Amino acid sequence: MRTIIEPFRIKVVEPIRMTSREERAALIRQAGYNPFRLKAEHVLIDLLTDSGTGAMSTHQWAGVMEGDESYAGARSFFRFEEAVRGIFGHTHVIPTHQGRASERLLCRAVVKAGDVIPGNTHFDTTRANIEDTGAEARDMVIPEGLDPDLDHPFKGNIDLADLERCIAEVGRERVPFVLITVTNNSGGGQPVSMANLRGTRAICERFHIPLLLDAARFAENAFFIKLREPGYADKSPREIACEMFALSDGAVMSMKKDAFGNIGGVISLNSDEWAEKIRTALILTEGFITYGGLAGRDLEALAIGIEEILDEEYLKYRIASTAYVGNHLAQAGVPLLKPIGGHAVYINGRRFCDHLTDDKFPGWALSVALYEHVGVRACEIGNVMFGTQDRATGAWNWPALDLVRLAIPRRVYTQSHMDYVVEGITELYQHRREIRGLRFVHRPAVLPHFTATFELV
Ligand SMILES: *Cc1c(COP(=O)(O)O)cnc(C)c1O
């Protein structure tokens, strides 16, 4: 059999509400042409993010009932700790309420002004948390990773020569750690190879710098290694994941991704000194060290979810179903980032809207048009999210890629939902020259995409 089916059946359903094109045109205008500002109930198929939007399994829901809500030393914490440690292998497991809380706690504890954090491509909240300490987040993905048309199995790899040069240039005392994001979300959900992790490890060891992973999508990365890297075809996703983590000194993770959580995060570390500092800060803002801002039931659901995510049948379906959307769009001529990533399909906004200049935000304009046309919500990862303006001259600096991400929530939508998405985007592509550009009405200084408002130009 060649057909890959959803490896689950549906026990509970959540109705979605249809809207008309006229309704949607008014709604997106009222939202300041920012899809983040729409009410979710006005969205038909929500591909804004795969973060916290997954469907939990019957086992996870059963776990929710088992949650131990004790303030300190809850049974659910120990179950969580065991599940995370069983995969990550580090000494300290510190729960947090989500990925960015992990990042903030880590950065506050060990990063100082003037430091440089090298990485493949830092995720937006990671970059913001690094910069908030006065340090610099420096991206150095391999050049292939910046070419949207190039097919390469591991476009998330860090450029090892650049990494070495960077550390030599700024000095190891100003590099508190190296952070590799698996898979590389901002670079298109592209995986990092084991060989590249090993190479990074060797450089880090030579300079005595800890290597950390941003492990939000560690399981998808492990499965890509299985599919694409010689020598891994016969290993289980779990074995591969363990090998990835064994190369690291620690990890931060948003458990809203590859742990099937609706909320949750973790910091996993070998360093006693860092763990001590982080736990002290954790108590100030998140909660006691055995719950870190989560309920016992959340810890329980995450402990089960992080095991389920490594199921090979699930990962096979996950990667195949994302590729299904990408391949059908590519067949219709829609310009995409290649190859198709694990959690999302990325449309090349600049090329889709090649009649719009960068200052009219082609990717963002596409995401607005997509909502208006078929009620599908997607997320721009491009000019609005990463564009920066020179304070002195007012000149804009645009990111290498202006993408629109169709992020696929885990175990939520069926193939016919995806067929609808493909048809809608294909139709829009045929009328793409009618898509209008935008300009800012209000641009917040930090993470502008979440709350900015726009007008059509
Ligand atoms: C989602 C994400 C984060 C931030 O996690 P939140 O749970 O949204 O705070 C960090 N890094 C990567 C790679 C992510 O995908």
120 Cβ below 6 A of ligand 1 = no
Distance (Å, rounded) from C-alpha 78 to C-alpha 47?
Answer: 34
Pocket test for ligand 1, best of 220, 257, 410, 450 (most atoms within 8 A of CB): 257
DSSP structure string for 27-64: HHHHTTT-GGGS-GGG-SEE-S-SSS-PPPPHHHHHHH
Long-range contacts: 444-452, Cβ < 8 Å, 24+? 446/128, 447/124, 447/125, 447/128, 447/385, 448/384, 448/385, 449/34, 449/36, 449/124, 449/379, 449/380, 449/384, 449/385, 450/36, 451/34, 451/36, 451/37, 452/32, 452/34, 452/384
| Peptide bond preceding 183 in cis form (omega within 30 of 0) | yes
Distance (Å, rounded) from C-alpha 355 to C-alpha 24?
Answer: 24
> Which member of 122, 257, 328, 338 is catalytic?
257
**CB contact at 8 A, 137 and 304:** no
Domain regions of the chain by residue span? 21-50+311-456, 58-308
Distance (Å, rounded) from C-alpha 6 to C-alpha 321?
Answer: 9
Nearest CA, atom 6, ligand 1: 99
Of 175, 194, 192, which Cα lies nearest the Cα of 247? 194
Indicate whether this model's pTM tops 0.85: yes
Would you state the CATH architecture of domain 21-50+311-456?
Alpha-Beta Complex (3.90)
> Which member of 31, 137, 216, 407 is catalytic?
216
Residue type present at position 269: L
- For the beta carbon of residue 45, count every other beta carbon within 10 angstroms: 20
Four-point Cα dihedral 325, 329, 335, 338, nearest 10: 40
pLDDT at 447: 83
Distance (Å, rounded) from C-alpha 294 to C-alpha 288?
Answer: 10
Does residue 123 carry a catalytic annotation? Answer: yes
Give the tokens for residue 286. 């998140």
SS3 at position 253: strand
265 CB contacts (<8 Å, ≥6 apart)?
95, 96, 97, 98, 99, 100, 101, 102, 252, 253, 254, 255, 256, 292
The sign one gets for the Cα dihedral 285, 54, 61, 300 is negative
SS3 at position 147: coil
Of 360, 295, 326, which Cα lies nearest the Cα of 95? 295
Residue type present at position 424: G
Which pLDDT tens digits describe the chain residue by residue (457 residues)?
888 899 999 999 999 999 999 999 999 999 999 999 999 999 999 999 999 999 999 999 999 999 999 999 999 999 999 999 999 999 999 999 999 999 999 999 999 999 999 999 999 899 999 999 999 999 999 999 988 889 999 999 999 999 999 999 999 999 999 999 999 987 789 999 999 999 999 999 999 999 999 999 999 999 999 999 999 999 999 999 999 999 999 999 999 999 999 999 999 999 999 999 999 999 999 999 999 999 999 999 999 999 999 999 999 999 999 999 999 999 999 999 999 989 999 999 999 999 999 999 999 999 999 999 999 999 999 999 989 999 899 899 999 889 999 999 999 999 999 999 999 999 999 999 999 999 999 999 888 999 999 999 9
Residue type present at position 26: A
> How close is the Cα of 432 to the center of ligand 1, in Å?
31
Does residue 214 carry a catalytic annotation? Answer: yes
Distance linking the first and last C-alpha atoms of the chain: 51
Tell how strand 265-269 and strand 92-96 pair up.
antiparallel
Q: Which atom of ligand 1 is nearest to the CA of 185?
A: 13
185 Cβ below 6 A of ligand 1 = yes
Four-point Cα dihedral 182, 147, 345, 307, nearest 10: -10
Distance (Å, rounded) from C-alpha 456 to C-alpha 440?
Answer: 9
CATH topology of domain 58-308: Aspartate Aminotransferase; domain 2 (3.40.640)
Pocket test for ligand 1, best of 36, 49, 100 (most atoms within 8 A of CB): 100
Does residue 124 carry a catalytic annotation? Answer: yes
Of 259, 274, 382, 365, which Cα lies nearest the Cα of 310? 259
